Structure 1
Amino acid sequence: MGDLIKVLHEGLPVEAVLTDPDVTRAYANDMASFCASGTPAVVVLPRTVEQVRHVMRTATALRVPVVPQGARTGLSGAANASDGCIVLSLVKMDRIIEINPVDRVAVVEPGVVNAVLSRAVAEQGLYYPPDPSSWEQCTIGGNIGTASGGLCCVKYGVTAEYVLGLDVVLADGRLMSTGRRTAKGVAGYDLTRLFVGSEGSLGIVVRAVLALKPAPPEQRVLAAEFPSAAAACAAVCEIMARGHAPSLLELMDRTSVRAVNAMTHMGLPDTTEALLLAAFDTPDPAPDLAAVAELCTAAGATEVVPADSAAESDLLLQARRMTLTALETLRPATMIDDVCVPRSRLADMLDGTAAIAEKYALTIGVCAHAGDGNTHPVVCFDPADPDEARRARESFDEIMALGLELGGTITGEHGVGVLKKEWLARELGPVGLEMQRGIKAVFDPLGLLNPGKVLDLCPPGG
């Protein structure tokens, strides 16, 4: 420990090296439930690329594991500390280096907060679409690490589609650049995409070149009430099958709507079984909204209400963004799942989740990026009640199993981390798992980067 701190101080200012246990304890975990965390030996907060390289050279020389962190808003335990590790917090590397309207790119450090970047590019008439629900807190580095999505993915896609190039510090301290800042480029293997979603297990992102789009017109939202989740999902399928391109297509089940009402007093229709929000950001959204209203009515919507103004649209979107926070008020703890299924199986996913909630006598609210088939079942429980905690964990596993049975994936945007590591093996299969372990071994042969996350370097018993 003494040698580690001494060597770290050789390349880092005193204030960037935290050793007080009361302070370092605050960096032990992210926001996931049921994910073990350890006690870090030290927390470092570098401000430069060279300081990050020094940390990794030190870690390699002394064989100390390193856990990269952003704002710790993750929901899979990917940022949880391991015993004796260096927690490498990148929140101080928060510069927007460049915004280029001609090339339509932004160059940023990993600690830049998503909302800060979004507002900065908006000032120049540009748009950075990925918008996770935690966009006011989460960082671009964290978004890249977990391949984050958000409410606008149905039209604009996820983080991976906006990362053009990266500067990455490798496990041994070498600095590597990947990708490009040009509109096109196919030189060699796509290492940039390899790092997106790798959860800090292959290298440390220290700079990113991000694609931008022209700012779209202000979107308008339509809200549709349905007597069942299945009816709402049928409307979603029709909207997509008819070729509409909503900028947002979100679903809240009855539990979610009631939780948001109880917390915010927004006056949402809490008698509904499912609330569907559809938005368009075209120059004239009226025809699209009218067409979607007809499809919702045909699918069984009991009421369809277009927002009268931009302010009312914003209020509806705020309600959707508040869903996870509102569900957290129902019980002392929550487990937030992230199962993505084909849109055609969305109704089966929601109905199956409701059956699982009934089976385990638990409150499970569901909100979904319905246009993507990406559901977020939220299991509400009391961790102080051993039986309830057991049922919560078992229900969580059944929900993931259901997603795979329906042809989906165990995570659409939250990542694997600790929470879903065992399930990753089931989804990938033995050959896929072997190939991924091989990639990990190439980039991190000593297994120092975020150990115990995503997948293990060696197979069990290996």
Structure 2
Amino acid sequence: MGFCPPSCQAAGMSTLVARLREGLPASAVLTDSDVLASYAHDMASFCPAGRAAAVVLPRSVEQVQHVLRTASELRVPVVPQGARTGLSGGANAVDGCVLLSLVRMDRILEIDPVNRFAVVEPGVVNADLSKAVAAHGLAYPPDPSSWEQCTIGGNIGTGSGGLCCVKYGVTAEYVLGLDVVLADGRLLSCGRRTAKGVAGYDLTRLFVGSEGTLGVVVKAVLALKPAPAPQLALAAEFGSSAAAGEAVARIMAEGHTPSLLELMDATAVRAVNKLTRMGLPESTRALLLAAFDTAEPAADLAAVGELCRAAGASEVVPAADVAESELLLAARRATLPALEALTGTTMIDDVCVPRGRLAELLDGVAEIAERNRLTIGVVAHAGDGNTHPTVCFDAGDEDERRRARASFEEIMALGLALGGTITGEHGVGVLKREWLARELGEVGVEMQRAVRRVFDPLGILNPGKVL
């Protein structure tokens, strides 16, 4: 391919913008340089972002189809985006791309209380859907920490989880059907609206977690659950990661199904106290939060409290009521902002290990932090082994940046060595491409690339991401 001088590139961009505006309102095609820069990346550190040719903000399926047809004809890359709360660079621009922001497609199209599903557009905010279905006595359980900002389309793209997944599962378990615009602009409908269905290959599951590399989700049919009872929670303090890990193992082995089982290490506890003045116990090495939304939550908490004491808890404090329980959960949700406030920049890992090896992961992270002379706080969805080691560093200090990146890589290696995976819910994006290949192996990578070529033979959908 010959060199295209700046004048040629400008002409190509002019053609692209003109073609996009043939099927979109002028206000939906943005080219201002400051606007392009503001849409260029998600919330991940150490992920490069290119310069886009345009940002488009469609409001309809037909407009999305027009964007994909235009991009396909002109061989222009397309990067689908939601609220850009992602933590792996999956929504980052590549040079010359169209940033396809779906935030204006934000309608809840249907809520069916009898069949317990909702039909939504991809730009619906997770919290808004939860509030809407609650009016019908229903719940949409997946609740990522960013649930008040993140969109359903982004949740589907990364296969996100949340605090309640130990009992209720992750996004993939709630996506019944999808409408997807393919790379060439065709519209594919897959899945169902029924409680059961096994007709053909499960393409719906294939799109969940694909990070916009196989198609653009424009509508989703989501399963709903009856609204649970209010949660009651307890906090248990431990003098070691091993004791906290033992408590998690005992709780799960005894058959308990908490609605939430979260773990905060000492660094995370201190950070939350510094930010919120909540007065969490800073003498602890690990703080375990457990909650139940059962018919008799107090009895369940009492049983779990005994298991925590048997595992070595120094203190077990049940919340007195729902309001006190919500304060504990608010402390957990404040962890990532609190850690970011320590140094201004964080790099959030997302390794998931077998529950029985949780303590090894926490102790290994502590050793990595000490060796690299960095602050690394850990918060974990302990009930399913999904941990978020968070590396805190000064982005203006080049040596600290280097040590932060090295620590991040060492944590992923540790997760794999413990029989885990490099991502439990944040996705691969740009950040973990090389590590995905290590986890999948040569044959696994070959098969996944073959699937991607079937859906996107020209390679225009979110290039440079995942594989």
TM superposition score category, shorter chain reference: over 0.9
State the distance in 1 between where 2:342 and 2:127 align: 28
Deviations 1:273-307 (A, max 9, x none): 11100000001111110100000011111110110
Report matched runs for 1:14-413 at 5 Å: 14-413=26-425
What's 1:458 paired with?
none
1:79 is displaced (CA, Å) by: 0.3
What's 1:436 paired with?
448
1:226 is displaced (CA, Å) by: 0.7
Question: In the alignment, residue 427 of structure 1 is paired with which amino acid?
Answer: E
State the distance in 1 between where 2:240 and 2:132 align: 41
State the distance in 2 between where 1:102 and 1:448 align: 40
1:415 is displaced (CA, Å) by: 0.2
Secondary structure of residue in 2 paired with 1:330: helix
Structure 2 residue 453 is matched with structure 1 residue 453:
no
Q: Which shows bigger deviation, 426-435 or 225-234?
A: 225-234
TM-score, normalization: structure 1?
0.98
Question: In the alignment, residue 50 of structure 1 is paired with which amino acid?
Answer: E
Deviations 1:336-362 (A, max 9, x none): 000000001111111111111111111
Deviations 1:105-131 (A, max 9, x none): 000000000000001101100010000
Which stretches in structure 2 are left out of the alignment for 5+ residues?
Answer: 1-12
1:321 is displaced (CA, Å) by: 0.4
State the distance in 2 between where 1:93 and 1:256 align: 36
State the distance in 2 between where 1:301 and 1:69 align: 44
State the distance in 1 between where 2:75 and 2:205 align: 28
1:332 is displaced (CA, Å) by: 2.5
Q: Where in structure 1 do 4 or more consecutive aligned residues deviate above 2 Å?
A: none
1:316 is displaced (CA, Å) by: 0.5
State the distance in 2 between where 1:228 and 1:312 align: 25
Q: Sequence identity of aligned pairs in percent? A: 77
* RMSD of aligned Cα (Å): 0.5
Deviations 1:297-329 (A, max 9, x none): 111111101100111100100100010000001
Secondary structure of residue in 2 paired with 1:239: helix
Aligned length, in residue pairs? 455
State the distance in 2 between where 1:196 and 1:365 align: 29
State the distance in 2 between where 1:383 and 1:288 align: 45
1:383 is displaced (CA, Å) by: 1.9
State the distance in 2 between where 1:383 and 1:262 align: 21
1:256 is displaced (CA, Å) by: 0.4
Secondary structure of residue in 1 paired with 2:378: strand
Secondary structure of residue in 1 paired with 2:341: coil
Residue number among 4, 7, 13 corresponding to 2:25 in the alignment? 13
Secondary structure of residue in 2 paired with 1:328: helix
State the distance in 2 between where 1:356 and 1:103 align: 49
Secondary structure of residue in 2 paired with 1:136: coil
Question: In the alignment, residue 215 of structure 1 is paired with which amino acid?
Answer: A
State the distance in 1 between where 2:453 and 2:151 align: 27
TM-score, normalization: structure 2?
0.97
